[in-house]
Amino acid sequence: MDSATLHEEIHSFFESAPPLKESAKITDKLNRFIHFDSPSPGKGRRVVCVTSGGTTVPLEQRCVRYIDNFSSGHRGAASTEYFIKAGYKVILLYRRGTCQPYCSSLPEDPLLECFELADDSDFRVRQSHSEAVKGAIMNHHAAVAGGLLLKLPFTTIFEYLQMLRIIASSMKSLEYHAMFYLAAAVSDFYVPWKSMAEHKIQSASGPLDMRLMQVPKMLSVLRTEWSPSAFCISFKLETDSKILLEKANMALKKYKMHSVVANELLTRKEEVTVVTENGNISVRRDKTRPGSEVEDPLVELLVKKHSTYINDAIAQDL
Ligand code: 9Z3
C-alpha cells in the first residue's frame, strides 16, 4: 500500500471514530506526568509507553456484542514493574479489567477474598493475605506518588488508537528518551462507526452477514510521524511456530521497528525471541528461580538496547 492510501485510511478511521471522552483531560494528565510530576523531571528522563490487554471491536453503537482480542494483560503489567525498577517513568495504556502492576500475588477477587468483617461496622485484611496486600499497596503507592506510573484505561479499538496517538504526540518532545513497548493485542478488523448498527442487532433477522474493514496499521505512522525519534518495540503473536519468526521479521522491516518481540501463545510465559536487524535473541524465564518471569530478562535486554540507541543518537548529534 502506498503512503497516500495509508494516510487516507488512517484519516478516515479517526474521522469516523466516536470522539474520545475527556481527551483534553488525558492530554493534560500526560503533559503533567511527562514533564512535571516527578522529583527529577527533565528531558533526560526515560519514559516508556507500555500497552497491554486486548482491544474490542463493537458490533453495535449501543454495544451489546463485541469481538475481543486475547490478552490477559500479564505481560504489560509485569513489564511495567520491571521498567519502573530500571528507572523509567511508565505510561500504562491498558484494557479495563486486565492484570495490573503489583497485583500478581493478590487473589483474583481481592476485595472479597483479602478482607473480612471485623465486626458489624468494620473490616480488616485477612491475616493470610496481609503481606501480599501490604506489598501491593506500598509498591503501587510508591510508583504513583513518585511520578513513575500513569495508568490510562481503554476498551475499544477506537479508544486505544486515539489514546496511543495522544500519548505519542505528548512523548514526541522526549525524542530518543521515549520508548514504546506495544504488548497490547490489537484488532486487525473492525466495523466503522458510521456503518455500525445503532441498536442491538436482532436475531430474528436471520444469520448475521457482516463486513469487517481492516484496521489501518498505525505502527508506521507512530514511527515516522507521531513520535519519530522514539525507540519502538512491537510484539508479534502467532499460534503456529513455523511462521512466527518470518512474520516478526516482516513486521520489523515493514514498520521500521527497532525490535519485534516474537511469542507463541502457548509458550509466551516461558520464552520469547527478540528479533532485530542484527539477528535474533532468545530470552527465557530463569526456571531455577521460583516465581521468575520472562519479562525480567526481556526488559533488561530492551533497556540495554535503548541505552545504546540513546548513546548512538547523542554521538550523531555531536
Ligand atoms: C503480544 O504478543 C503479547 O505478548 C501477548 C501477551 C498478548 C501474547 P498476556 O497479555 O499475553 O500476558 O496474556 N502482544 C501483541 C499481539 C498483537 O496484536 N500484535 C500485532 C500482530 O501480531 C502487532 S501490533 O499483528
pLDDT score, position 223: 96
Quote the CA–CA distance of 180 and 52 in Å, as a whole number: 12
Q: Are 279 and 210 in contact (CB under 8 A)?
A: no
C-alpha grid cell for residue 170? 505528548
Are 170 and 62 in contact by the 8 Å Cβ rule? The answer is no
Give 139's contacts (C-beta < 8 A, 6+ positions apart). Answer: 81, 101, 102
**Residues 6 or more apart in contact with residue 172 via CB below 8 angstroms:** 178, 226, 227, 228, 229, 230
Which uninterrupted H or E stretch holds 31? helix 23-35
Residue from 277, 268, 278 nearest 298 by CA = 268
Of the chain, the end-to-end C-alpha distance in Å amounts to 37
Coil/strand/helix, residue 2:
coil
Instruction: Find out whether the beta carbon of 73 lies less than 6 Å from any atom of ligand 1.
Output: yes
CA of 199 to the centre of ligand 1 (A): 31
Q: How far is the CA of 113 from the centre of ligand 1 (A)?
A: 30
Q: pLDDT (tens digit, 0 to 9) for every residue of the chain, 318 residues total?
A: 788 888 999 999 999 899 999 999 999 999 999 987 665 555 578 999 999 999 999 999 999 999 999 999 999 999 999 999 999 999 999 999 999 999 999 988 888 999 998 888 898 999 999 999 999 999 999 999 999 999 999 999 999 999 999 999 999 999 999 999 999 999 999 999 988 999 999 999 899 998 999 999 999 999 999 999 999 999 999 999 999 999 999 999 999 999 999 999 999 999 999 999 999 999 999 999 999 999 999 999 999 999 999 999 999 887
| Cell numbers standing for residue 214 | 481492516
- 71 alpha carbon – ligand 1 mean position (Å): 7
Domain boundaries, the chain: 3-117+139-201+209-317
Rounded distance between C-alpha atoms, residue 300 and residue 306, angstroms: 10
Cβ 235 under 6 angstroms from ligand 1: yes
pLDDT at 41: 52
pLDDT at 2: 82
185 Cβ below 6 A of ligand 1: yes
pLDDT at 42: 55
Contact 76, 52 (CB under 8 A): yes
Q: From CA 272, how far away is CA 36, in angstroms rounded?
A: 35
Q: Which CATH code is given to the segment(s) 3-117+139-201+209-317? A: 3.40.50.10300
Record the cell numbers describing residue 194, joined without a space. Answer: 458510521
Radius of gyration for the chain, computed over Cα atoms and rounded to the nearest angstrom: 21
* Residues whose CB is less than 8 angstroms from the CB of residue 163 and which lie 6 or more positions away in sequence, other chains included: 20, 26, 93, 152, 154
- From 67, 79, 268, 272, the mutation candidate for ligand 1 (largest count of ligand atoms within 8 A of CB) is 268
DSSP conformational letter for 225: I
pTM over 0.85: yes
| Residue partners of 34: CB distance under 8 A and separation at least 6 | 47, 89, 91, 170, 171, 174
